[in-house]
């Protein structure tokens, strides 16, 4: 039987990246003479990739910029963030233990994120997590972003898994909808960056700590 494949979102699911992303956003805004976005507001802007975070941050400030200016801000954002990608970002509590337990049960792991693949790998390298994953796929890996289910399908294939033996783990409506569209069961974490409670989007299971993940995955794998 094919191994169970657990596919994780990255920001707000595997790793609490908000401190470094928000600092980067506010550094770029300061360069443009704009006030900082407060932490709680900025936390809810994460999840669609850096450019989406910039656009939403500008909207929160009641600002809009020309496409060329946005591209320059995006390039500056990526350059600064790459240099500070793991200054304060940390895996969420219980992650390592959950991965150990699931691996002992024969599970393998992949990452499917709207973060750029290079930044995702850089972050996971800095946190000594890269070797845990069979595949790490970002928005530029296949030029597809969540919630398009094709990015999840291709991530599963890249990891050597099979759709009928996969489970998605995420923190947002985007992750739930991606999994639903791909007909893959989904576990939502309630400690991520969803602007409204992720429970409202109808995940198959909801967890509040990674200690709960092995049981949730086992229930979905056995019923899938």
Q: What is the pLDDT of residues 56-96, one digit of tens each?
A: 999 988 898 999 999 999 999 999 999 999 999 999 999 99
Domain 5-16+89-223 has CATH 3.40.50.1000: yes
Domain boundaries along the sequence of the chain = 5-16+89-223, 18-83
Active-site hit among 9, 16, 171, 175: 9
The answer to whether 165 and 134 are in contact (CB under 8 A) is: no
- Asked whether the predicted pLDDT for residue 148 surpasses 80, the reply is yes
Instruction: Provide mean pLDDT across the span 15-22.
Output: 97
Instruction: Provide mean pLDDT across the span 20-24.
Output: 97
Top CATH class, 18-83: mainly alpha
- Asked whether the predicted pLDDT for residue 223 surpasses 80, the reply is no
Which tens digits make up the pLDDT trace of 112-122?
999 999 999 99
Q: Catalytic annotation on 190?
A: no
Instruction: Provide mean pLDDT across the span 187-200.
Output: 95
Q: Please give the pLDDT value at position 224.
A: 62
């Amino acid at each position: 039987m094919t191994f169970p494949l657990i596919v994780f979102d990255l920001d707000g699911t595997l790793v609490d990246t908000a401190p470094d992303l928000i600092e980067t956003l506010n550094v770029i805004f300061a360069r443009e003479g704009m006030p900082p976005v407060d932490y709680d507001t900025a936390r809810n802007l994460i999840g669609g990739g850096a450019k989406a975070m910039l656009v939403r941050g500008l909207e929160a400030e009641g600002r809009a910029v020309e496409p060329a200016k946005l591209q320059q801000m995006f390039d500056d954002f990526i350059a600064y963030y790459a240099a500070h990608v793991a200054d304060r970002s940390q895996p969420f509590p219980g992650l390592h233990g959950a991965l150990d337990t699931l691996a002992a049960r024969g599970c393998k792991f992949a990452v499917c994120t709207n973060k750029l693949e290079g930044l995702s790998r850089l972050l996971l390298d800095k946190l000594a997590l890269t070797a845990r994953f069979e595949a790490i796929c970002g928005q530029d890996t296949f030029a597809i972003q969540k919630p398009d289910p094709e990015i999840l399908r291709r991530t599963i294939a890249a990891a050597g898994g099979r759709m009928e033996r996969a489970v998605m783990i995420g923190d947002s409506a985007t992750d739930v909808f991606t999994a639903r569209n791909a007909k893959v069961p989904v576990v939502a974490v309630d400690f991520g960056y969803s602007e409204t409670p992720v429970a409202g989007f109808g995940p198959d299971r909801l967890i509040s700590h990674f200690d709960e993940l092995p049981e949730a995955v086992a229930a979905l794998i056995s019923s899938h």
